[in-house]
Amino acid sequence: MNKPTVLVSRKLPVNVEARLARDYNGIFNPDDRLYSTEELLQQTAQADAILPCHTEHLSAEVIERLPDRVRAIANYSVGVDHCDLEAAKRRGIVVTNTPDVLTDATAELTILLMLGAARRASEGERLIRAGKWTTWSPAFMVGTEITHKRLGIIGMGRVGQVTAKRARGFEMEIHYHNRRRLDPNKENGAIYHDGLASMLPLCDILAMHCPSLPETQDLLNAEHIDQLPDGAIVVNSARGAVVDEDALIEALKSGKLAAAGLDVYKNEPNIKRDFFELDNVFLLPHVGSATKETRDAMGYRALDNLDAIFAGREPKDRVA
């Protein structure tokens, strides 16, 4: 029996590529090049499925141009905002993602963003690397403790819940806004708000964990930032599109916000240069899932979905 052919858009972990090569005919990307749209379409000519990352923008136009033989798009990501699901449905292409396996890594990173922003980590590291650390005083590099602070979470899904669990280790008071209230057994003392207006004024730190959807575009805008306490800290490890970056930059410049910790951006990797000029922002290059354990698990989850599709079974993580 001929093995299905799978186009792999980026270089994957060694163990994941080894399993894929064992079970499929793989079209790999050993140089880890970011394909243009035309290059990507050329590569799909012999493919029965595509295993893309969030770096590949599978718009409705791109999906309409895919060969008829493409049966599945098994995303190597939880977020699927880079993939037009309605267009895939129209073509009868099954689309999957990789939930659950990124939860711990992304929650860990959220805590890192909180600490990095609150304790001025980027500023301190730059000072040392530039050889400009020359003295100490009680007023030197004073930041903010997160212990006992009030943490607001927008989006209390898997990652939001684990972030809350980790934050309780700092004895933080947890507030959250979600489309639906959690079962009380899952709240563990977190305080639910059915709207942002009641939650934002209570947030010493605000963590964005909502998906990128039409209704969440620029959710954290100037109006909502203004509702935060003066000197609040914002962290975002979700998607860049959920934050109005111009409003965030203005609030960081004015002092309305004390700091921000960001791992995601609207036009990454081409992010606004204004961020580079600000000392009070802690920047990371979209590494929320960047642990060996998680990256392997993501690949295995994507392959589990492909295994199910080509065996005629319903994949566990179908989103379209």
Q: Would you please indicate which residues are annotated as catalytic (active-site) residues?
A: 239, 268, 286
CA distance 159 to 151: 14
What is the 3 state secondary structure string of 204-245? CEEEECCCCCHHHCCCECHHHHHHCCCCEEEEECCCHHHECH
Cβ–Cβ contacts within 10 Å for residue 191, how many? 14
| Residues ≥6 apart with Cβ < 8 Å to 297 | 98, 101
Main-chain phi, psi angles of 173, to 5 degrees: -90, 125
Q: Comparing C-alpha atoms, which of 161, 170, 169, 116 is closest to residue 143?
A: 116
